[in-house]
Amino acid sequence: MIKQNISLKNYNTFGIDVKTKSFVSIKSEKDLLEILDLIKDHSFRILGGGSNILLTKDFNGLTILMQNKGINILSESKSQIIVEAQAGENWHKLVLWALERDYGGIENLAFIPGSVGAAPIQNIGAYGVELKSVFHSCKVLDLETSSLKTFDKEACEFGYRTSIFKNSLKEKIIITSIKLKLQKKPHQTQTSYGSIQNEIKKRPLNIQNIAKTIISIRKSKLPDPKEIGNCGSFFKNPVITIQHFEKLLKTFPEIPHYTDKKNKVKVPAGWLIEKLGFKGKRYGNVGVHEKQALVLINYGQAKGKEVLELASKIQEQVLRVFMIKLEIEVTLM
């Protein structure tokens, strides 16, 4: 049933109070196909967990809340399974489902907020693992042809926190489900990234303990959206040339970094922001979290415009001091 003039405050983790002209909750592909003509005739946007978005103004169109659920094993061999999860499933619940059954591959992505359907759009990642490493395919509704199609990993054009769905196919398709390739024992684990390296040594090495360690780290650094509005990491970690990094080292010898396979260097955006003194600072209704400078927070009454103004201030300072252009990770709506 389509509702009119609905506040989206409870549908985004930033807690931004904007309205949408029309609103509908989808619980199956059949529901989606039934409103296809409405989607084609109106401006629309998709919401899942509402965790990686910033709502900046009222929306004079149709907001579609994906609530289709279900996790099913489609096939398995001695070493792996193919599992399908519907777009409206909670991502962390999918991780827990896999851990309970001892299927590996997504344990490093534990406690990432949001829905399954949003995961390919961002190519979500954490602690040295990205979705694309376990991705098999996804099913989408093609709005131009009114048909359901399957995109394999190559067709998704995954990059760092991006995909074809965030670029050339934005607003042209709707993801309805994804398929992942998960491992049976023996698991191939990734524990060499950042703070997980030291913490994991305190427990026996298995995928359950890797997830527990990551959940503990994330809980200690990231605010709970139920207590204070936020959408997790607001900026991408910038990737710069080795030459640029070597110049920075002369002034900032303590700068943390990770060298990737393409002779580029990834620098933690949180460190850059903290170095400039933004960490823990409040600016009216918005601020920078006291434990993780990558996270911008809403103290209760913030508007999307205020969050963007703070983000711009941070970007300007980072560019001025470090000659690095910080990219916003969240989707602006």
Name the 3-class secondary structure at 59.
strand
Catalytic residue among 84, 89, 306, 329: 329
- CATH topology for 223-332 is 3.90.78
What are 77-97's pLDDT values in tens digits? 999 999 999 999 999 999 999
At residue 261, the pLDDT reads 67
Task: In the chain, list all ranges with CATH 3.90.78.10.
Answer: 223-332
Closest CA to 233 of 62, 95, 111, 103: 111
- The stretch 233-257 carries a mean pLDDT of 95
Does 199 qualify as catalytic in the annotation? no
Percent of the chain's residues with pLDDT above 70: 99
What are 291-329's pLDDT values in tens digits? 999 999 999 999 999 999 999 999 999 999 999 999 999
Q: Which of 156-165, 260-269, 303-312, 320-329 has the lowest mean pLDDT?
A: 260-269
Does 146 qualify as catalytic in the annotation? no
Does 316 qualify as catalytic in the annotation? no
pLDDT at 194 over 80: no
- The stretch 14-42 carries a mean pLDDT of 94
Task: In the chain, list all ranges with CATH 3.30.43.10.
Answer: 3-66
Q: Which architecture does CATH list for 3-66?
A: 2-Layer Sandwich (3.30)
Catalytic residue among 22, 115, 133, 233: 233
Local confidence band at 241 (pLDDT 50, 70, 90 cut-offs): very high
CA separation, residue 53 to residues 227, 269, 297, 322 (Å) = 18, 18, 13, 27
Task: In the chain, list all ranges with CATH 3.30.465.10.
Answer: 71-219
Mean pLDDT of the residues in the chain: 95
Catalytic residue among 161, 163, 177, 306: 161
Give the Cα-Cα-Cα angle 204, 207, 210 (nearest 5 degrees). 70
CATH class of 71-219: alpha beta
